[in-house]
Structure 1
């Protein structure tokens, strides 16, 4: 609604609009409100639609403080978008839900939800009630999920042969910035999951996988470390850089003399008093160092820092130390090495020490950055993925890519069934939903057909983003699926000469695809039931 009004200025020079006949303005409700919601959702979906698939385009986002992010990860794009409309915020939450539960498919779920709402708008114009549309979508969703179960293949996980898992990870990484190291990153992700997975419980504890990035190198320098990597170095440059058969004292108490718990001040009035205080501090430092050495430790990991005097004493006593190690790193080191976190020097004993095969200091780059690697740990399940990149932007995008791959492999550990990507499963589900609609005598058949058309939006977007003729390509693939009864045929985005996704090894997890369809349908059903918005001070329009 274009409101006619007058611009005025307050006492601070800030403009505001005085709207004529404001008391007569009304909030949107009924069909107008639903259409307003659909328009907002379609706008968000169209923004990320061009990022779908291996040839999807990246988005550049600039934060208010000027920080630049370049990515085609749907969850990141939507998270950093500054949206104010309520339904647009729901679309952002939809993407977050998919990311939290599955980790991949964040763009596809928003594109599908936008397509479903676009189809619903046409049905509303034809006079079909929103509830009937929602019910039809629900029926179509059940048909689609049953079809996904029918066309899925089981990928049994063999710890000795992980090629299947690598192929699935490569599909996930196909649209990311790390495609130049496609297989290497897939192998890193699979290796990390295989190291920490609990195959009896069919689950993966992500707390045991740490992803660390360091700029100033090539993507090819990224590696999987079977241990813990911390962005610290030895507290003194003359301490040994490699410690074999390390026994770690993991301390959360500071290397400093205890302070008297009194409100009275202490005046040092003579040189003798100062020397006494100095000797007291030195004795306390020496006592602390001796307590650590007496426990049998040959490396001290400290959460807090210590001054130069304590550092010099540690060097003199040949006790290497690392200071300012953060809380999460301390916990991960304790889990990996089988040690206990000790809050007081008096409680330190040999049975509380952590054990590692080797602790070594890495040095790299022209700036000689140094990091510590703790390998050969007692609990070998803790691993670190160490990513390199030319700048911060590349490293951050590599982290997002690896996170998606890790989530997909974790989902395969939980449920080893896969479906074929490239839009193949969406086309197969669309065909099944349209058949079911023809068998349905009620008014819901129109909503079911609309649902089938919406499912085809994903292969349409894949073809469009790959420079193919979207309508022609989709029509040909759908006809081939029907004629050959082959649900594995999809969009040949990479021009490999075949559109059989089974031959191309383009794989997606069944759990991820089912979650994508379920979440999109639930959100659309919820939006169709909202016929009034009563936000404070909101006028007609958005």
Structure 2
């Protein structure tokens, strides 16, 4: 600190290295990191399960989103704390790999950190806590594998796939229409799936939304849906056995890239210019017609003159199609994208059985149905508002991801918190065999696993501790790892909501549940081992 004087002789103080306070270390850093991560977890806790609540997110631009998808909520939050960003990445990793369980993985990580904080207060070193959590996580993952059931996904008209999709949709906005939506999700995945290789190409599935109608009007289209229309009202609206020319060059004369000036001083000069332009247009139309194409899809626009010539030559066209749609059309129809008219040829055309324009409300859309080259589907989601449509698209995507996961690995565990309770009991038994300080961390891991069914019961309006205790005791008494909390039941039985989830028919994929525990344990271990936070450029 030093004192200086300004030009009027007034003293003022200069504080040196005042930004060195940006460093946090020791127990203070660990507790600060745990607090930041738990704040994110507590935000998502109320969104967990079939009775979870939605969040309204308002962006700085005023855009409003309503969702209970964990990855979407965290993605749109403006977070500055570096450890809180780890929780966002945790949810995003679950979404990228599995597509579902994005809320549960964050809630589990928050519960583990809460238990870790209690152990830190008892004087246990963070490294010992992380090692105990790691041992317990491996036991929980092995337990999930032992209680998992192998499903015949092709039996009873793929009933196992539909039930799994219904379980996913139970916590979404599509809950009231989950039977139909589950059928749509399963049909969409099966049409593009290779069951022998256990592979699903999601690039062949598009999810489009259109405001208007209700969620019940959502449909599955065998092909591609484009939010465009035929460029001229007098062109045919239905093209059978379509041969599609896909252009990324404009239907217009080339424009000089330098400054130019054109002086027309006589009617003859204007007529000559008009004929030259017409000749250029006719040559472009002739080049396309000679290939046998009966439909042109152009990434760029073309003026009314070119549109009129296309009509005269019986060549329907669609203009201003986006680059992503152009690539998808080329992929599924087997066509090649043509960047200039000199390269147009018959072997570069895409093929589809039918291309038709349909009316939806006050707008029109183009349907490319039954492409000849490969299978492709589009789920057209309808809704009364833009927010409903966007949330419906997210819900359907999650359902299709779960169906994809069950095709990859057809083993399932049962929901309602039954899998977590079974793992908690197994971890508690394992803790009895552990000696030393690690057993405290192992038992804490078991307590954290019970937090997920606690949140399910709490969000459903039940008495969480009583319900979880009853389900846990019933699992032990009956030696049945499938006892969970029936949060979807209307009337509570006399002995509470604890029931066999096999009778309820609530499935979750094994790989999704194992991924949750594995990712949560890894992130918690990373957070616990951070004991020094240094802001770059602020501390020397």
Query: Is the structural similarity TM-score above 0.5?
Result: yes
Q: CA deviation at 1:272?
A: 1.2
Distance 1:23 1:264, change over 3 A: closer
Larger mean CA deviation between 336-345 and 415-424 belongs to 336-345
Matches within 5 A, 1:107-186: 107-158=103-154, 161-186=157-182
1:388 to 382, 393, 398: 382
Counterpart check, 1:64 vs 2:55: no
Distance 1:197 1:19 in 2: 66
Assess if the C-alpha contact under 8 Å between 2:246 and 2:349 holds in 1: yes
Assess if the C-alpha contact under 8 Å between 1:332 and 1:382 holds in 2: no
Matches within 5 A, 1:81-100: 81-100=77-96
Secondary structure in structure 1 of the residue aligned to 2:489: coil
Distance 1:129 1:261 in 2: 69
Secondary structure in structure 1 of the residue aligned to 2:270: helix
Deviations 1:121-177 (A, max 9, x none): 111111111111000000000100000000001123328821110100010110101
Secondary structure in structure 1 of the residue aligned to 2:379: strand
Secondary structure in structure 1 of the residue aligned to 2:432: helix
Deviations 1:162-197 (A, max 9, x none): 111010001011010111211111111111110111
The residue aligned with 1:214 is 210
Distance 2:537 2:287 in 1: 67
Counterpart check, 1:378 vs 2:372: yes
Assess if the C-alpha contact under 8 Å between 1:140 and 1:433 holds in 2: yes
Larger mean CA deviation between 520-529 and 39-48 belongs to 39-48
The residue aligned with 2:331 is 335
Q: CA deviation at 1:257?
A: 2.1
Counterpart check, 1:425 vs 2:408: no
Counterpart check, 1:520 vs 2:532: no
Deviations 1:73-98 (A, max 9, x none): 11111111222222111111111111
Matches within 5 A, 1:240-255: 240-255=236-251
Secondary structure in structure 2 of the residue aligned to 1:140: helix
RMSD: 2.0
Q: CA deviation at 1:42?
A: 1.2
Distance 2:78 2:120 in 1: 29
Distance 1:351 1:159, change over 3 A: farther
Counterpart check, 1:322 vs 2:318: yes
Matches within 5 A, 1:94-493: 94-158=90-154, 161-259=157-255, 265-365=261-361, 368-493=362-487
Deviations 1:446-471 (A, max 9, x none): 10000000000000000000011111
Q: CA deviation at 1:337?
A: 1.6
Gaps of 5+ in 1: 1-17
Counterpart check, 1:47 vs 2:46: no
Assess if the C-alpha contact under 8 Å between 1:195 and 1:380 holds in 2: no
TM-score, normalised relative to structure 1: 0.93
Q: CA deviation at 1:377?
A: 1.1
Assess if the C-alpha contact under 8 Å between 1:224 and 1:384 holds in 2: yes
Deviations 1:185-238 (A, max 9, x none): 111111111011122332211111111101011111111111011010000011
Secondary structure in structure 2 of the residue aligned to 1:161: coil
Assess if the C-alpha contact under 8 Å between 2:20 and 2:538 holds in 1: no
Distance 2:193 2:136 in 1: 36
Secondary structure in structure 1 of the residue aligned to 2:365: strand
Larger mean CA deviation between 445-454 and 184-193 belongs to 184-193
The residue aligned with 1:10 is none
TM-score, normalised relative to structure 2: 0.93
Distance 1:234 1:66 in 2: 34
Q: CA deviation at 1:330?
A: 1.2
Q: CA deviation at 1:262?
A: 6.8
Distance 1:538 1:105 in 2: 38
Q: CA deviation at 1:268?
A: 2.4
Q: CA deviation at 1:250?
A: 1.3
Distance 1:60 1:20, change over 3 A: farther
Distance 1:278 1:120, change over 3 A: same
Distance 2:115 2:538 in 1: 27
The residue aligned with 1:505 is 505
Distance 1:427 1:242, change over 3 A: same
Distance 1:135 1:275, change over 3 A: same
Matches within 5 A, 1:8-19: none
Secondary structure in structure 2 of the residue aligned to 1:324: coil
Q: CA deviation at 1:261?
A: 7.0
Q: CA deviation at 1:477?
A: 0.2
Distance 1:520 1:267, change over 3 A: same
Secondary structure in structure 2 of the residue aligned to 1:499: strand
Distance 1:19 1:416, change over 3 A: farther
Deviations 1:365-413 (A, max 9, x none): 1xx2000001121034211110001010000100110111111111111
Assess if the C-alpha contact under 8 Å between 1:420 and 1:507 holds in 2: yes
